[in-house]
Amino acid sequence: MPLFSHRHSPSLPTSSSKTIKPNKPVFTPPSSRYPLHLLVFSLVSLLIGLAAIIFAISAVRRSRPLPVFRCGRSEDTFREFYSSSGSNKLGDNNEALNNRPKLLGFVGIQTGFASVNRRDALRSTWFPSDPDGLLRLEQATGLAFRFVIGRSKDTKKMARLEKEIEKYRDFMLIDVEEEYLRLPYKTLAFFKAAYKLFEAEYYVKADDDIYLRPDRLATLLAKERTHSMTYIGCMKKGPVITDPKMKWYENSGHLIGNEYFLHAYGPIYVLSAEVVASLAAARNNSFQFENVQQ
């Protein structure tokens, strides 16, 4: 037999040969950083969404309109007091604090800075001397009562008035200069402010030297009337004073004639809501004489 076989066997690897490994796919992890503009956009969207949710919740929870106690610079110190004190004496729903509370009548007692004693006299008789008493009278009669006064450039006068307001809370401040010669403008400003702050069937203008029976006034105003444009009060006519030396001298007497025409007059009178609405809508503030405002 041959000493050597001619069959070839596979060659064995030598120490100098290298093992070839198969190539593996290389995985590159995504970048962990987002572009800055995407982050800003996401943050803004989140804030807008939160703001919308808060607004929706507040709108649902607010079941009634916000109370308003001002008309321009005119304000009702009585309702402002009850609103700021958080009292529920006006009812669970605070209906009297809503915009233009409904009343049978609103009574404005026209007063001035020098009439402190007159106001004290009224508060010691028929006019309530505290907010709770004023509220009880309003609920019993359907009439709201306020002292009506303008403003002054005199800081001392305004400071004394503020102290009185703080004590009694029974004023309506109107946006007009408190002067005797400007009483016609004050009357017109009163009716405009009262109409915008109160939804009354009648508006009463009264002086601060009258003694009133609120119950009888309420009975009078509650009567049915056929005409919606109503005036209740005195009427007057008389000679025109043309003598410059006399107190009631009329410098426009030559335009009026010898006698005034019949006109509304008196320390107290009543206008229906429709009449006051026409005054509130009027843009002509050039009334010269209070007694001819009808």
- Is residue 55 a part of any domain in this protein? no
- The predicted pLDDT at position 92 comes to 46
3-class secondary structure, 239: strand
- Mean of pLDDT values over 48-62: 74
- Is residue 243 a part of any domain in this protein? no
- The predicted pLDDT at position 74 comes to 83
In angstroms, the CA 192 to CA 74 distance is 10
Please check the confidence at residue 76 and state whether its pLDDT lies above 80: yes
3-class secondary structure, 218: helix
Please check the confidence at residue 186 and state whether its pLDDT lies above 80: yes
Parent domain of 166: 75-83+101-232+265-281
- Is residue 191 a part of any domain in this protein? yes
Give the best-scoring range by mean pLDDT among 30-39, 110-119, 275-284. 110-119
- Is residue 62 a part of any domain in this protein? no
- Tokens for 188, please give them: 């017109």
- Is residue 36 a part of any domain in this protein? no
Return the HEC string of 265-290: EEEEEEEEHHHHHHHHHCCCCCCCCH
In angstroms, the CA 13 to CA 190 distance is 117
- The predicted pLDDT at position 294 comes to 38
Please check the confidence at residue 62 and state whether its pLDDT lies above 60: no
More confident residue, 187 or 68: 187
In angstroms, the CA 205 to CA 194 distance is 10
More confident residue, 21 or 249: 249
- Mean of pLDDT values over 258-262: 88
| Cβ neighbours around 97 below 10 Å, total | 19
Rounded to 5 degrees, what are φ and ψ at 126? -95, -20
Give the least confident one: 102-106, 169-173, 287-291. 287-291
**pLDDT confidence tier of residue 33, bands split at 50, 70 and 90:** low
3-class secondary structure, 71: strand
- Is residue 195 a part of any domain in this protein? yes
Mean pLDDT for the chain? 81
- Tokens for 104, please give them: 């049978």
- The predicted pLDDT at position 72 comes to 62
Q: What is the pLDDT of residues 235-244, one digit of tens each?
A: 988 899 989 9
- Type of residue at 218: A
State what percent of residues in the chain have pLDDT above 90.
49
In angstroms, the CA 263 to CA 293 distance is 8
Rounded to 5 degrees, what are φ and ψ at 146? -145, 145
- The predicted pLDDT at position 220 comes to 97
Please check the confidence at residue 270 and state whether its pLDDT lies above 60: yes
In angstroms, the CA 83 to CA 89 distance is 10
Q: Output the pTM of the full model.
A: 0.70
- The predicted pLDDT at position 65 comes to 43
- 158: domain CATH number is 3.90.550.50
In angstroms, the CA 127 to CA 207 distance is 13
- Tokens for 249, please give them: 């001298």
- The predicted pLDDT at position 21 comes to 55
Q: Is 24 left (phi over 0), alpha (psi -120 to 50) or beta?
A: beta
- String of b and e for 19-28 (b: at least 16 CB within 10 Å)? eeeeeeeeee
- Is residue 270 a part of any domain in this protein? yes
71, 192 Cβ separation under 8 angstroms: yes
**pLDDT confidence tier of residue 292, bands split at 50, 70 and 90:** very low
More confident residue, 188 or 56: 188
- Is residue 158 a part of any domain in this protein? yes
In angstroms, the CA 234 to CA 249 distance is 22
- The predicted pLDDT at position 119 comes to 98
- Count structural domains, the chain: 1
- Tokens for 258, please give them: 């010898």
Q: What is the pLDDT of residues 148-179, one digit of tens each?
A: 999 999 999 999 999 999 999 999 999 999 99
Rg of the chain (C-alpha set): 41
